[in-house]
């Protein structure tokens, strides 16, 4: 990936895959640090450290060596990138990395990641946090093993979503850092994944609130069409966040998800607390129609679907909205009024993914 690239290479879309613990990772980290020091010390880059799970003996990990370092300034980034490029390092521009506190390079071999370099300015607290977390796991074997088990579970759950996988580890990492009396710096990734915040509705839902949500459902097709208007093929195939879905996938996901939800409404209205059929949205997002089909097909589908859905919603009584279905995966019972709120939010949530990407990229 060049500094001017607005597209993502294959290595940027890799699945989350954990390898068994490998004792060679420590030696690989040492060798990589020696190589980086030889190339970068003259540019004021110093304090190289091997971090991440490959630095912890016995932990399963993505087979990628993470190295971090510090610099007094980012003024020599062009020279640093030139020095690294001959060794297969790719600079990820800040506007795509979306972590303004660091500069980031990915070393690849045959289009697969093999190493990361995280460069921080001296004094950046995240450098100290990374060291503190690594050292905590080295000191406490019980913490390391608990972290390893969590990673295995999350890798299975978020195999196709590297950012979600990383975010899901955040609570554990924060807990360990607080145990070590380290102040935790919050990441901006959450804002990219949830640009309008998470949906939260508990207790009674008023009739007024239901009407507002129904209006949002009615307006979604127009807002979605406006959000993608004028985007070319390359832009539609750009992820809205690092390791996230492309704009094209987001649009098709909305059609898939809302079609499933519409069916669940019909089941709940005609059966006594039916058990719905879950689906793997991550896998659906990788099918050919989601990855390749023109977005106009799903725009038309969503418009027709929501026209029918809104007619149905506006016909429902208080008693209808209190009907429920059972979700066998979460083992929870859901009321239709709360589900209505969830999908009104869901539409705004994904439209915001697209519009926030357009703002960041200047499209």
Tokens 């987001």 appear where? Answer: 250
CA distance linking residue 299 with residue 310, whole number of Å: 16
Phi, psi of 89, deg, nearest 5: -90, 135
Q: Classify 76 as helix, strand or coil.
A: coil
Sign, CA dihedral 334-340-343-344, equals negative
350 is in an annotated binding site: yes
Phi, psi of 124, deg, nearest 5: -65, 120
Helical spans, DSSP H, in the chain:
24-40, 77-85, 94-97, 125-139, 141-157, 162-168, 170-179, 189-193, 207-228, 233-236, 247-270, 281-284, 288-292, 295-315, 318-321, 336-361
Q: Which of 67, 58, 61, 60 has the alpha carbon at shortest distance from 23?
A: 58
- β-strand pairing of 112-121 with 65-71: parallel
CB of 129 closer than 8 Å to CB of 184:
yes
258 is in an annotated binding site: no
346 is in an annotated binding site: yes
User: Binding site: what residues are annotated?
Assistant: 253, 346, 350
User: Binding site for Zn(2+): what residues are annotated?
Assistant: 253, 346, 350
């Amino acid at each position: 990936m060049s500094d001017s690239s607005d597209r993502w290479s294959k290595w940027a879309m890799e699945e989350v895959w954990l390898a068994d613990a490998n004792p060679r990772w420590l030696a690989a980290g040492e060798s990589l640090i020696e190589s980086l020091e030889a190339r970068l010390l003259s540019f004021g880059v110093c304090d190289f450290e091997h971090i991440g799970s490959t630095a912890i003996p016995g932990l399963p990990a993505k087979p990628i060596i993470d190295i971090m370092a510090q610099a007094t300034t980012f003024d020599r980034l062009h020279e640093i990138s030139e020095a690294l490029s001959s060794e297969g390092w790719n600079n990820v521009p800040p506007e795509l990395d979306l972590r303004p506190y660091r500069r980031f390079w990915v070393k690849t071999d045959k289009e697969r990641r093999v190493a990361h370099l995280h460069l921080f300015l001296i004094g950046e607290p995240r450098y100290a946090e990374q060291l503190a977390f690594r050292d905590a796991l080295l000191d406490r074997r019980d913490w390391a093993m608990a972290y390893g088990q969590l990673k295995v579970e999350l890798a299975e759950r978020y195999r196709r979503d590297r950012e979600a996988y990383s975010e899901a580890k955040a609570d554990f990492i924060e807990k360990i850092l607080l145990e070590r009396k380290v102040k935790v710096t919050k990441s901006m990734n959450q804002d990219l994944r949830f640009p309008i915040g998470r949906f939260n509705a508990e207790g009674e839902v008023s009739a007024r609130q239901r009407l507002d949500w129904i209006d949002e459902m009615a307006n979604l097709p127009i807002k979605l069409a406006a959000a993608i208007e004028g985007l070319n093929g390359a832009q539609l195939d750009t992820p809205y966040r690092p390791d996230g879905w492309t704009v094209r996938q987001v649009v098709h996901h909305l059609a898939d998800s809302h079609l499933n939800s519409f069916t669940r409404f019909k089941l709940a209205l005609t059966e006594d607390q039916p058990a719905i059929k879950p689906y793997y949205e991550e896998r659906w997002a990788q099918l050919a129609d989601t990855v390749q089909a023109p977005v106009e097909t799903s725009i038309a589908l969503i418009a027709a679907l929501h026209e029918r859905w809104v007619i149905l919603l506006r016909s429902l009584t208080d008693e209808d909205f209190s009907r429920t279905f059972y979700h066998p995966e979460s083992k929870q019972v859901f009321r239709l009024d709360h589900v209505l709120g969830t999908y009104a939010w869901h539409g705004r949530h994904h439209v915001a993914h697209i519009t926030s990407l357009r703002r960041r990229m200047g499209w």
